[in-house]
Amino acid sequence: MIITEQVGPFLFMFLTGILGLAVSIILFMSHNEKSLGNRLLALSVLSISYVLLINASFLTNLYQLLPFTYRVFSFITFCIGPFSYLYVRTVLRQEYKLSKSDILFFVPALLGLINRIPFLLLNREEQIETINLINQNLKMVVLEPDGLFPPGYLAIFRVTMTLGFVVAQFMLLIEWKKKLTSNHFYLEQNAEMIQWLKMYTNLLLLSVSLLFIQTVLQVSSALHFEQIIILTMGFTNLITSIMLFARPKILYGMVGWMQEKIPIISVKDYNAIGDAKTEFNQNRLSLTLLEGKDYKHRIETFFNEDKSYLEPGFTINNLSKTLNIPVYQLSSFINQEYQKSFVQFINDQRFEYLLTMISEDPAFKNYTIDYIGKKIGFNSRTSFIEFIKKRTGKTPSEFFKEA
């Protein structure tokens, strides 16, 4: 049951929370290129969605019916800062893996989990009684008197830590913008990516700053303004979801080799100097230029000599196994070097092969659309027709007639 005057706030929190949850699941599960940055973004959105849904739950009698669910996943609230910071850092530095020390960012989440032990050890009646007492005073929600740690301490620590992470990612953006500006390095997609990261960071900074002020005030007094905080967090989820659907290119990350001291657009502009073996063995989180040069050679040799990419259903996993390059590194390299996703890249190769067929195969005009589509890797007539229309603005028949 929901109090009548709380229907509006409940619906806003619930719907934006569910939207964020759906987006995070789609982003995490359907992105077959295994991009680290996109998975971190998914986890960041998931963490914010949890905050929205958990606050929506406070406006219902859910916890009276299922008391064991009260704050059971509250440790997730400690992950908003780490996930968002690591997402921004990973995208800017073009990292394909995390360092071992990054696990330390999530120690506070473990503390949050430990804090819930006393409440979980209570029987059902004691849990319901505790929840009813807390609901009588909103200040108690923030203080968390039912936890293992002294009331208020964990709440202050959580918002301070989260604000620190968001400020750190904000400073990282400033540093990276200066780097690109000082090197006079401009690419439109990177400018769009920086703009997106800045927008996402500013929304988080606003939400977490308000949360910090509200938490400090509520711990030391009876003042609180949850609705403003929930509004900003809800809009963070809403705008993030809209941006991901409206501008899918932001999922491809930065293009070029931005992680180097002097950025370059392509590895073809790089001349290896020094000990190649040493450079390959560097303990880096992103690809080295020498690795990039090697991957480029392997990929282009494959597409020149092996036509298995024309088989329907050819995926990045197939290419990864053939070239013996991990999927996450292969995906990162294609994004950086060719400024495309794998799907765009493979479709470009198929289109080039189609042009070769048109110009070199004397029997081409006798082939059916179904045959041509399957010949270059499309499972169905419909997907092939859509591909040609998107690429040329014409139907296959019109395009073949004019080619």
Tokens 């794998």 belong to 342
Please give the residue that has the higher pLDDT: either 211 or 202.
Answer: 202
* pLDDT exceeds cutoff 50 at 54: yes
Whole-number percent of the chain with pLDDT over 90: 39
* pLDDT exceeds cutoff 80 at 274: no
Q: What was the pLDDT predicted at 143?
A: 81
Radius of gyration from C-alpha coordinates of the chain: 26
Please give the residue that has the higher pLDDT: either 185 or 280.
Answer: 185
Q: CB-based contacts of 215: which residues, under 8 Å, 6+ apart?
A: 142, 155, 156, 158, 159
Nearest-CA neighbor of 78 among 208, 167, 173? 208
Please give the residue that has the higher pLDDT: either 250 or 47.
Answer: 47
Mean local confidence (pLDDT), 288-299:
90
- pLDDT class of 5 with cuts at 50, 70, 90: low
What gap in Å lies between CA 290 and CA 274, rounded to an integer?
Answer: 11
Kindly list the distances between the CA atom of residue 223 and the CA atoms of 142, 216, 277, in Å, as whole numbers in the listed order: 11, 9, 62
Q: What was the pLDDT predicted at 217?
A: 80
* pLDDT exceeds cutoff 80 at 263: no
Q: What was the pLDDT predicted at 272?
A: 56
Q: What was the pLDDT predicted at 3?
A: 52
Mean local confidence (pLDDT), 180-207:
84
Please classify residue 5 by burial: count the beta carbons closer than 10 Å to its beta carbon, then call 0-12 exposed, 13-18 middle and 19+ buried: exposed
Q: What was the pLDDT predicted at 96?
A: 87
Mean local confidence (pLDDT), 365-389:
91
What gap in Å lies between CA 31 and CA 28, rounded to an integer?
Answer: 6
- Counted residue by residue, the chain has a size of 403
Residues 100-147: tens digit of each pLDDT: 999 999 999 999 999 999 999 999 999 999 888 887 777 777 788 888
What gap in Å lies between CA 8 and CA 228, rounded to an integer?
Answer: 13
* pLDDT exceeds cutoff 50 at 268: yes
Mean local confidence (pLDDT), 283-287:
78
Instruction: For 31, list phi and psi in degrees, rounded to 5.
Output: -85, 90
DSSP-assigned beta bridge partners for residue 95: 286
**The two structure tokens encoding residue 230:** 């929930």
- The overall average pLDDT reported for the chain is 86
Predicted structure pTM score: 0.85
Dihedral sign for Cα atoms in the order 284, 289, 294, 298: positive
Residues 72-105: tens digit of each pLDDT: 898 999 999 999 999 999 999 889 889 999 999 9
The torsion defined by the Cα of 196, 198, 201 and 203, in degrees rounded to 10, comes to -80
